[in-house]
Structures are given as C-alpha cells and as structure tokens.
Amino acid sequence: MKVLVTGASGQLGMDVVSVLKSRFEMYGVGREQLDVSDLEQCKEVLNSVRPDVIIHCAAYTSVDLAESEQDKAYLINAYGTRNIAVAAEEIGAKLCYISTDYVFDGSGDSAYTEYDNTNPQSVYGKSKRAGEWMVQNFSRNYFIVRTSWVYGLHGTNFVKTMLKLAQDRDRLKVVSDQVGSPTYTVDLANFLADLVETNKYGIYHASNSGVCSWFDFAQAIFEEAGLVVRLERCTTEEFPRPAPRPRYSVMDHMSIRVNGFQDLRPWREALRNFLQQYHRS
C-alpha cells in the first residue's frame, strides 16, 4: 500500500513516516514540496504519487498566534484540508485527517466521545473543526483522528521544554487545573498504521491511556528522568494566554474499542519509553 504524509517535516509527520516505512511504501512531503493552500499543487502532487492513503498531518499549530492570524490559520487548517480532500477524492484515496481535543470547549467533567457536540473556543480549535467539516463534506472514505498533548523527538513540545527548563531552574510553576491525556507521537503513528489499512471509517479519539493535569505530567517527567525540581501548582488565570485552553479535554476512545483496535498504552509507560529514546538521541 502506498501512503503519502503531508506535514512530513513536522513533529508528528516525521514519526509517522519513520514508523510506517517498515509496513508501507511511504512518501513524505513537507511545506517545501507541498503548499496545501494551493489546490492545483495538491492535485499535481497527489496525481504524480497516486497514494492509496493520505495521512494529513500538515497544520497551522501556533495556538496563541492564531488568535491574531485567523486568516492564515483557516487557510491552512480549513481550506488547505479542503484542497487535500478534493485532490484525494479525485484519485480515490483514503484520507486520514489529524485533528485535536481543542474542538471541545473543555467545560465538562466527563470524557468526550467522538460524537459529542463540538464547541471550540480558540481560533486554532475552530479552524481545525472547520477542517473536519471539509473532510466530512468532500471525502467519502475518511478517518478523522483527534489527539491531544502531543510530544515526540522532533519539534517543540511540553516534555522537551520541561527537560530544558530543569537544566537551569530548581523550581517551576505548572498549571494544575487543565486536565487531559498526553500522546507520544510513535504510539499515535502505530495506531494510524493499523487504522488506515482498514475501511473502518469515521471519527476516532486517540491518545495514550489515562488522565493527568499538566502539573501531574511535569511531575512524572522529572521523576522518570531522575531530576529534582520543586514544582508548584498554579491556575490557568495565573498564566494568561491569548488563546483559551480547554480545562477538561479528556477524550473517550469509544471508536477504538468498538472497532476492535488495540488502545494506546498508558501515558506514563509511553513517557518512560520516550525518555529512553530522547537520552539516546
């Protein structure tokens, strides 16, 4: 099977290409090879490769900057996704769109299922939800995979930031009133590999199993890394950001269960494995 990954130079895209190349004929295209905002270029690239599956990782992910760059966020996340969906449909390819927990408002206290109403509060979340809408309206054979709190060896993420801060600080304040589930890129990539081989289309929630706050996550990072850092809890209000964050964005993995897929392993086990890889790299 031939698989094309957009956003292949990004944090998730790099690991998707790396993990899936042992199972599929892989083609990774980054921003330099494919501008998703250009419909004709999308058609040209997809027609030349003619993949069976497109895993659409390319996205505008600057959550706070999106509040002042609304047009750019929508151009990439909504209209860029429309372009990929249209081009994919023309060659009869399956489309797997990577979405986010930010499509929910996070105001509840129970895990969101795949078919709960969305209510994004940030420009980033709204633009990603618009991308979902484009996929649902322009593609017949699609998977929408919402994930959360992503980290891996490439790019910038919370785990790497905490490890870097620990080098010159012995005390940190971390938000404790935002709750969700971390996701290791390698584990997500392995799930995507299993998913796209099937015709079990629809919406999926995929994150490592279990729930924690950002404070809990930071604490686990330092414990697993053997670092001594004094952590202090703080509230979201103490660290105001341009874009609102979901307070409770835990996602239920109903689609994974009912479709017979293996759920992603517990988040702390995944973190331990990531840290081993990180220290070897």
Supply the DSSP string of the chain, one letter for each residue. -EEEEESTTSHHHHHHHHHHTTTSEEEEE-TTT--TT-HHHHHHHHHHH--SEEEE------TTGGGT-HHHHHIIIIIHHHHHHHHHHHHT-EEEEEEEGGGS---SSSPBPTTSPP---SHHHHHHHHHHHHHHHH-SSEEEEEE-SEE-SSS--HHHHHHHHTTT-SEEEEE-S-EE--EEHHHHHHHHHHHHTS---EEEE---BS-EEHHHHHHHHHHHHT---EEEEE-GGGS--SSPPPSB--B--HHHHHTTPPPPPBHHHHHHHHHHHHHH-
Alpha-carbon distance of 41 to 206, in angstroms, equals 30
What is the distance between the terminal CA atoms of the chain, rounded to a whole angstrom?
30
State the CATH class of domain 2-157+182-210+249-265: alpha beta
User: Would you name the residues annotated as active-site residues?
Assistant: 124
Quick one: pLDDT at residue 258?
A: 98
pLDDT tens digits in sequence order for the chain, 281 residues long: 999 999 999 999 999 999 999 999 999 999 999 999 999 999 999 999 999 999 999 999 999 999 999 999 999 999 999 999 999 999 999 999 999 999 999 999 999 999 999 999 999 999 999 999 999 999 999 999 999 999 999 999 999 999 999 999 989 999 999 999 999 999 999 999 999 999 999 999 999 999 999 999 999 999 999 999 999 999 999 988 999 999 999 999 999 999 999 999 999 999 999 999 999 98
Quick one: pLDDT at residue 119?
A: 98
Dihedral sign for Cα atoms in the order 246, 192, 42, 84: negative
Quick one: pLDDT at residue 31?
A: 94
Alpha-carbon distance of 262 to 269, in angstroms, equals 16
